[in-house]
């Protein structure tokens, strides 16, 4: 078995707002919710996703300050979707702004922000071939205007 990302975790002050967002936009479910109590710190947490992967959110430590300022800035995580048009329809219905990144022959991408301002890259692959899906030379050529050979 190859290693894969099971989850990522972000800090938030409003777990319910993020549960609503991620379940409505991606059709995921709330996998679990609880209180983590370890040593001298505790926090509330949720896991939102599928049986195989999820996004974890937790509150700042109870009675303490937020770790590392409480937010991750200038970063994002990627989510692959099976149907970009369907996802865009859900974003439009929710009034969510998005930015498209285009012109790759084997994948569509767009970027959104969740209610906490975390950036999410959404990817829809147009090929089942990993060599085509992961061809970064095409990205470089498109960005610089040169053709590849």
Q: Are residues 32 and 84 in the same domain?
A: no
Q: For residue range 2-47, list pLDDT tens digits in order.
A: 767 789 888 888 999 999 999 999 999 999 999 988 777 888 999 9
SS3 content of the chain, % helix, strand, coil (to 5): 25, 35, 40
Residue numbers of the domain that contains 95: 71-149
pTM for the whole structure: 0.77
Q: For residue range 110-124, list pLDDT tens digits in order.
A: 999 999 988 899 999
pLDDT of residue 72: 43
* C-alpha span between 107 and 90 (Å, rounded): 20
> Which CATH number is 119's domain given?
3.10.180.10
The total number of structural domains that make up the chain: 2
Q: What separation in angstroms does the CA of 30 have from each of 21, 98, 134?
A: 11, 24, 30
């Amino acid at each position: 078995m190859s290693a894969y990302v099971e989850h990522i975790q972000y800090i938030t002050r409003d777990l319910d707002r993020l549960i609503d967002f991620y379940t409505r936009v991606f059709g995921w479910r709330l996998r679990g919710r609880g209180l983590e109590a370890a040593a001298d710190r505790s926090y509330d947490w949720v896991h939102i996703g599928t049986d195989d992967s999820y996004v974890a959110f937790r509150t700042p430590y109870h009675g303490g300050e937020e770790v590392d300022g409480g937010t991750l800035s200038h970063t994002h995580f990627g989510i692959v979707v099976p149907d970009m048009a369907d996802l865009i329809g859900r974003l439009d219905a929710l009034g969510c702004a998005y930015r498209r990144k285009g012109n790759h022959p084997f994948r569509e991408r767009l970027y959104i922000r969740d209610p906490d301002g975390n950036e999410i890259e959404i990817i829809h692959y147009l090929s089942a071939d990993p060599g085509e899906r992961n061809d970064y030379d095409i990205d470089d050529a498109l960005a610089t205007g040169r053709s590849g050979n």
